[in-house]
Amino acid sequence: MTFVPDELVPLAPLTTMGVGGAARFFREVHDEATLREALAWADEHGAALRLLGGGSNVVVGDAGFDGLVLRLVSRGVRFEPFDADRVDVTASAGEPWDEFVAACVERDLQGLECLSGIPGHVGATPIQNVGAYGQDVAQTITRVRVLDRETKDARVLTNAECRFAYRDSALKSETPDRYVVLDVTFRLRRGAPPAVRYAELTRHLEANAGTTPTLASVREAVLGLRRKKSMLLDPADENVRSCGSFFTNPIVAAAVAKQVARRAGDELMPSYPESDGRVKLAAAWLIEHSGFKKGMRSGPVGLSSRHALAIVSHEGARATDVLDFAKHIQLMVRARFGVQLTPEPSLWV
């Protein structure tokens, strides 16, 4: 076997949160052959395994990771007509997500435009069922090609087999360690109008009255909205060291949502009906109405000055500081509203 990993590689510089220790073993993986060698090496040496993409949705613990970390950086995008109106677009797991979205928009392919500006790589999107501004990848993914760590074979998971849910999938919740995503295929519509379903985005576009939204204008609008919230990776932004939204929006029974509104004393509390009768609550609103303000700090960590859902690590912050602050937010929201917030990033602790 020719696979030889690097040792004691710092992980903090490879994540957007910028905290955490080193990987005992580490290797960038550019192709499937190297991935297979790496997995065989991990099995042979009894090494625990973690997969890292763009590092935008992970908090690495201060002790680092005592195993093998593989950073998937495989590249490649393939466009194949499915029929007169649709195109199947297959992207390797290591493709930077926003570059991929931009390429699809430039080709007038509808289906991903509202997901512009999200950091990370393509391979992570089906795991998390990445979504924003009224779109998520479950709406367009047709297949996910994976390497099965149990059988050592490559196989294809259909959309149904992925069992997508809100910021969730079978890859994340049911078999989190079994599959390694190799590439993802999206079925996009050629020349279709943009999907504008999200109220904030609609208002933003309506400000440009008299113009018909295009895929390009929707992409620019989404990038603008994300920029205002410090949800783009801008090195000059004081809020750049974060995972974006640290908590998912809780989805609760309709009766619970009414109880939360009564506790808040605000019947106009933002809430969004789900198709199954449950109600999605706004985590940022719950946080701000539990005593937290944008920009507040607790030592070297705090909330973003532009978005209450983002926890920011400032100079000198450790992973422990980030996680303690997150736990404090959870405790205060639960005490105020009886709602448990769930972290969105993967916690390597």
Active site residues: 167, 245, 344
DSSP secondary-structure letter at 213?
-
Q: What type of residue is 27?
A: R
d(CA 61, CA 67): 13
CA distance to 25, 97, 286, 291, 311, per residue, from 333 (Å): 38, 32, 6, 9, 15
Residue 201, both tokens: 């985005």
Q: Does residue 300 contact residue 223 with C-beta atoms inside 8 Å?
A: no
Q: How far apart are CA 205 and CA 139, in angstroms?
A: 22
- With beta carbons less than 8 A apart as the criterion, state whether 54 and 97 touch: yes
- Taking only Cα atoms into account, the Rg of the chain, rounded to an integer number of angstroms, comes to 21
Alpha-carbon distance 146 to 93, whole Å?
10
With vertex at residue 230, the alpha carbon angle to CA 224 and CA 234, rounded to the nearest 5 degrees, is 90
Neighbours of 250 (CB within 10 A): 22
Cβ pair 180, 149 in contact under 8 A:
yes
Structure tokens at 20: 């955490």
Question: Under a CB-based contact definition with an 8 Å cutoff, are residues 94 and 122 in contact?
Answer: yes
Report how far residue 121's alpha carbon sits from residue 39's, in angstroms, rounded to the nearest whole number.
20
> CA–CA separation, 38 vs 32, rounded Å?
10
